[in-house]
Structure 1
Amino acid sequence: MIFNDRTTPLSLLETRRSGKPRDLVAPGPDMDQLHAMIAIASRTPDHGKLFPWRFVIVPDDARAALAAKLGEIVMAEKADAGPRDVEAAAQFATQSPALVVVLSKPVHGHKVPVWEQELSAGAACMNLLHAAHAMGFVGGWLTGWASYSDAVRDLFGAAPEKIAGFMFIGTPARDLEERPRPLLSEIVQVWSVGD
C-alpha cells in the first residue's frame, strides 16, 4: 500500500529516507526546531520511565572545536593515523548544518534490563529522524569509530554512557535515493505451534 499524501502520518513514515550527512546543506533546523525534534524523539518506548538516553546539540559555532578534538583523538588512538585521518575527522564533525549526539544512558542494576534500555535509545534516534522528516528536513544517523571511542564519548558524557549515534540534520543537496527494501516474504513469518 502506498501513501502518497505526505501530510498523513502513514505517508510520513513511508516516505522518510536517510540522507548522507556529507550531502546535507543549509537550511538546517534552528535551535527551536531542534528542541521540538528532541521533544518528539523523547516520546519513545521507555520501560520503567528511566529516560535511558540524552541528547547533546553541537551548535554551529562549536563544530570546528569538535573537529579539532576528534583530530587529536584519532591521532592518539590509531597508531598509523596521519593527516588524512585528521582531515576525515574534521569533515565528519562539520558536515551538515546540524548535529545532535544521542547518548545511551542505561541505569545499571535496575529491573529493566540494560538491553531494553539500549533499545529505547535506538528508538529515540529513530524518532529524531522521523521528527526531522516531519519538519521538512532530512537526517542521517552515523556511528563509526567515533561512536566506540571512550575519549570521544567523554567529550559528551561519561561511562557507562555510550554514543548511540551522531544525528546529522539538514536539507538534501540532491534527490534521495531509495534503497533496496526486503520483500515481506523474506522478513515476515507467521508463527504456528508446529514451528
Structure 2
Amino acid sequence: MPTPRPDVLDFLATRRSRPAKTLGLPVPDRAALMPLLEMAARTPDHGKLEPWRFVVLERAALLRISAMIPALPGAPDAEAVLKAQAQYGEAHLAVAVIEVQQPSPKIPPIEQTYSAGAVCLALLNAALAAGWGANWLTGWASHDRGFAEGVMGLGSHERIAGLIHIGTETSAPPERPRPDIGAITTWVSE
C-alpha cells in the first residue's frame, strides 16, 4: 500500500500560477534559485539526454531584451509587440528553459520536447512550493527564430520551451475554472 504525502497532494490540488505582471521584488538570489533549478532538473529526461538547459535572465538583461523586441520582424501586430515588451520589461527575474535537441537513435525528438516542457512545470512548481510567485509564459517572440538566435543567442538546434517568471506575489489571483475531468477521461478495461 502506498504511503500518501498529504502536504504534497494538497499543494498539487491547490497550486495556482501567479500572473507574471503581479510578481514583484524581492526575487530569489542565486543561492535561493539554484536548489529550484536542481529540483527542475530531476525531471524524467527520456534516456538521460538532458535535452534542456537554463538561462537565468536578471533585471538588466530583461530590460535589454524588452528594448530589442520592436526591431523583430516576426511580430503579428503592434499590440503583440507591446505585450512582449511588457513581459520582459516589467519582469525582475525569469528563467528561460531551453530545449536542446540531442542526437539519439533511441529517443525521438518529440520525447525530448516533452521533457523540456516537464522541466518548465517542475521549475514552476518548485518555485511555488518554495513560497515564490511564479508563472510559465512563452509568446510569439519566444517562438521567433530571429529572437531565439539573435537576441537569446541560441543555436539552431535549440528553442525556448518556456520562460518561468519568479518573484514575490503582490496579489493572489482568484481561482479559475478547471477542466471537467469526467468529460475528458476515457477508461479502457479490456
- TM-score normalised by length of structure 2: 0.87
The answer to whether the 8 A contact 2:20-2:165 is kept is: yes
From the superposition, tell whether residues 192 and 157 of structure 1 become closer, same or farther in structure 2 (CA, over 3 Å).
same
- What is the SS of the residue equivalent to 2:115? helix
The answer to whether the 8 A contact 1:26-1:96 is kept is: no
The answer to whether the 8 A contact 1:19-1:140 is kept is: yes
1: distance between equivalents of 2:175 and 2:98?
A: 28
Q: 2:123 aligns with which of 123, 128, 133?
A: 128
The answer to whether the 8 A contact 1:26-1:171 is kept is: yes
How far residue 109 of structure 1 moved from its aligned partner, in angstroms, is: 4.2
Is residue 77 from structure 1 mapped to residue 74 from structure 2 by the alignment? yes
Q: 1:178 aligns with which of 175, 179, 184?
A: 175
Superposed CA deviations along residues 130-180 of structure 1, whole A, max 9, x for unmatched, are: 110111012111111012100111124111111101111112222122121
How far residue 112 of structure 1 moved from its aligned partner, in angstroms, is: 0.5
Amino-acid identity (%): 37
Superposed CA deviations along residues 16-44 of structure 1, whole A, max 9, x for unmatched, are: 11111112111221122221111110000
**Count of paired positions:** 183
Is residue 146 from structure 1 mapped to residue 141 from structure 2 by the alignment? yes
Structure 1, 124-133 or 159-168: larger mean CA deviation: 159-168
Residue 19 (structure 1) aligns with: 18
2: distance between equivalents of 1:123 and 1:11?
A: 20
Structure 2 residue runs of 5 or longer lacking an equivalent are 1-5
Name segments (4+ residues, structure 1) moved above 3 Å: 84-89
The one-letter code of the counterpart of 1:123 is: A
The answer to whether the 8 A contact 2:40-2:122 is kept is: yes
How far residue 123 of structure 1 moved from its aligned partner, in angstroms, is: 0.5
- What is the SS of the residue equivalent to 1:62? helix
